[in-house]
Structure 1
Amino acid sequence: MTYEDRGVAVVSGASSGFGARTAQVLAQQGYGVVALARRGERLATLEKEHPELRIHALSVDVRDRAALRTAFEGLPDAYRDISAMVNNAGLSKGFGPLQSADSRHWQEMVDTNITGVLNLTDLLLPGLVARKSGHIVNVGSIAANYPYMGGNVYAATKAFVHQLTLSMRVDLEGTGVRVSCIAPGMARTEFALVRFDGDEERAEELYRGVTPLTADDVAQAVSWCLSRPPHVNINMIELMPADQPFGLGFGRKEGNS
C-alpha cells in the first residue's frame, strides 16, 4: 500500500512508548505519519532509524495552542492530507492519596491530558469534517473506569478523554468522521518512570510478577480501529495484561505509600 492510499496520520506523544510504536506501525501500513512530541531529539532518532518510512517529525508541545497552529501551517505539502489523528500525548505525575499530593502535578496532567487533547482536536477536526472522512483515536486508560489508590487526578483526566470520545461520536454523526478510544491497562513504557520522577527501582517494582502490555500491543489496537471498513466505528477497546485484576494491581503493589 502506498502513502497516497491512506493519507496522513498525526500521532501525538510520538517520542516514546505507545506513540513512537504507533507512528512506526501506521507508517509501515501505508500512512504518511506526522510524529508530534516535545522531545525533538527523540523524533529525529525515530526518523533516522526508519528511513524507509514516511515519517515527518514535528517538535511541538500539545499544551501550546499557538505553537501547534504554527507547526501545522508549516507542514510540507506531502503531509497535509490528514485522514487520521491519534491523541496519545499524556502523562501521570505523582502517586498517592489526593490529600497528600502535589497540586503542581495536577496542573501538569490537566494541561497535557485534557488541554493538549482539546488543542490538537480543535486544530485538526475541522479539516476532517471538511474532508467528510477520517478517524480520531483517543488514548485513554482503564484508570478511567477502575479506580486504584493513587490514581485520582490522572484517572479523572482519562475519564474526560473517554467521555469526550463518546460526545464527539454524537456531535460528528453524519460527517463521515469516526472516533474511537483505546483504554490500556498496565504497560511497560516510560510511563512509570515519569510518574515516579525517574525512580527506576520503584518503577520496576510495579511490574514484578506481571507480564505487562507492550507499546506494540497498544499500537496494534490503534491500527485495528483505523483499518475497519468506513461503516464500522469501534467505540472503545479496553485491554490489559492477563495478570492484572482490573485497576487493583497498582494498589496491591504500592500499598499506601
Structure 2
Amino acid sequence: MSTKLVLPILLALLFASCEVDPYEETSGKTLDVGSLSKMKAPHTCKDEEHWVEAEDGTIYWDENATSQDTTKPGETYLGANVLVGTHNRDSNLNEPINSARFQLYLEKNKNGSSAEIMGNTVPADVKKYGTLAGGLYPAKHTIYKNDGALLINGGRNLPTVNGNPNNPKNYYDDGSLKPSSEHVLDQVLFHKGNYKRESLSTYPDKHGNVLPISAGCQTGGSGRGSLPLYRDFIKEAEGFEGNYYLRKP
C-alpha cells in the first residue's frame, strides 16, 4: 500500500465522533449543573410568523417575518422552530464547563422559550478536535445513544472556528493537511452530556485512556444529576424540525 493512502486510512480509523459517556446514571452527590426552565403556553400560530433575533440579542416572535428578506434591517431570521445556543468561549475557545445556554423556541409558544438548559459548545480538546463555528444551521430531532438529540446540518460538512485535524476529509490524498479555512466537522449533534462527572471526557480506564464526550458536538450539562435535566429538556423537542443557531453572548 502506498504511503499516500496510509495516513488517510489511519485517520479514518482513529476518527472519533461525538461519543457519550457509557456509564449509567448513578445515585450520589448532585453537582450544580443548573436547572431546567420551561414555559408552557400552547398557541395556534399563523404559518407566516417566525422567530427572529433583534439587534440587542433578544429573541422574539415576528408576525411579519417569513425569511431573512422580510426580517427588519439589522435583525436575524431564525425560523419557526429554533434551538438557540449562546456560547461562553474566550478568544482561545476555552469555555467553563456547563456555562453555555441553550434555549428552545417553538412555534407552539410565541411568548418565549419553551425550555432552557445549561451545557457546552466546545469539544473535550479544542486543539485535537474541531469547534463548531457560529451560525444558523438546519436541525432535526433524532435518537442518539438511546436518548433524544438534534442532528445538525444532516450531521456533516459544518464549518469550524480554527480547523479540525481529526477529520480525514480535511486531508489531501497525499496525507497533507488542507488549510484550516477548508476544514469541516462531521457527525455533529446536540446531545446529552457526561452524566458521570463534570467533565467533557470520561474517567480513565484501567489503561489510563480517556474518551471524549464531545469531539465537536454541542452537549447538555455534565455532572451527577444532569441526565434527568437533559431528558426533560429534549422531551420538549420531540418531533423538532427547524434550525440550530449558535451565537456569541
Give TM-score, length-normalised by structure 2: 0.26
Give TM-score, length-normalised by structure 1: 0.25
Q: Which has the higher strand share?
A: 2
Asked which structure has the greater CA Rg, the reply is 2
Which one scores higher on RCO, CA 8 angstroms, separation ≥ 6?
2
Q: Which has the higher helix share?
A: 1
